[in-house]
Amino acid sequence: MTTTASQEEFLRAFHAEHPAVTAEAFGRGRAPDGRSSYEILSDRVAGSTRVLDLGCGDGLVLELLARAGVRRLAGLDLSARSLAWARRRPGLAGAALVEGRAQQLPFADGSFDACVSHMALMLMSEIDHVAAETARVLSPGGLLACVLGGGAVGEEAYELFVRLLRRTIAEAPAAQRIPPLGDRRTRHREGLDEILGPAGFAPVEWETVPIDLSGPVGQVWAALSGLYDLGPLDAERVDRLREAFSTEVRHLTAPDGRVPCAFTVHVATARLCDAGGTRPGG
């Protein structure tokens, strides 16, 4: 089996079991201005009328866009189960929700004036094909906006959890480890420019935003345990990880029972150059 096939098989299987995992884990997280990362992404394409969501999952971003009045919405995802959940959202009754791969988009040239992706672009293999296909379905001057995973913020619960998780994975047999996912160039601005530039996009605008997930220990665990890495672990290892986390996080817990937990996301936007190779208005 090729690397790409094994990656996509893992993602399909994981989301068949956890169809709304990302929204459930991170939907309540808030930036300093009070918005969720989903709301930040939706706001980045304000004013657009035709929007495609790559890796749309259970449709949370699309629902926000529908509420904002976007007239034509489409979502693409590998997971049939996640798409079934998206179709339950009343605001998406008229959206085109398609099972498929971002490397081969089933849409005509210039179909959209914006494309969004929440915590999904960084998971995709053959990312240069994804960039080329995204450019193809965008109209000249179209906007690509993505939320990408960042890292821990200080000595808080997220960093503690990642440290314990890495130890657990190191002790697990190879069969209980996830395949490598995505292209590491998507994790930093220069790498994303390297991917998007050849496809015809202008230089990336990049912002790093802290997202607060603080709350009672059970609530924090529920969010963090949605990470892909836990998927292949056997129940006993997951139980031990939860127990270790609950024990070691006590020194961080406030008197009111609140556990400080934060991580960062990167919000990246890039506009497709017009036919002359320049940004509209440039």
pLDDT in tens, 95-136: 999 999 999 999 999 999 999 999 999 999 999 999 999 999
Rounded to 10 deg, the angle between the 157-171 and 235-248 helix axes is 150
pTM score, two decimals? 0.93
* Mean residue pLDDT across the chain: 94
Per DSSP, the three-state class of 101 is coil
Q: What are residue 159's phi and psi, to 5 degrees?
A: -65, -40
Helices (H), the chain: 3-17, 21-26, 37-44, 60-67, 80-87, 127-137, 157-171, 189-196, 217-224, 235-248
pLDDT digits 0-9 by tens, 13-72: 999 999 999 998 889 999 999 999 999 999 999 999 999 999 999 999 999 999 999 999
Q: Residue 192 and residue 131: Cα distance in Å, rounded?
A: 10
Are 262 and 158 contacting, i.e. CB atoms less than 8 angstroms apart?
A: yes
Q: Residue 270 and residue 160: Cα distance in Å, rounded?
A: 34
Question: Is the pLDDT confidence value at 277 over 70?
Answer: no
The H-or-E segment that residue 47 falls in is none
Q: Residue 105 and residue 175: Cα distance in Å, rounded?
A: 32
Q: Average pLDDT, stretch 267-275?
A: 90
Q: Average pLDDT, stretch 172-181?
A: 95
| pLDDT at site 2 | 67
Q: Residue 111 and residue 209: Cα distance in Å, rounded?
A: 30
Q: Residue 25 and residue 89: Cα distance in Å, rounded?
A: 18
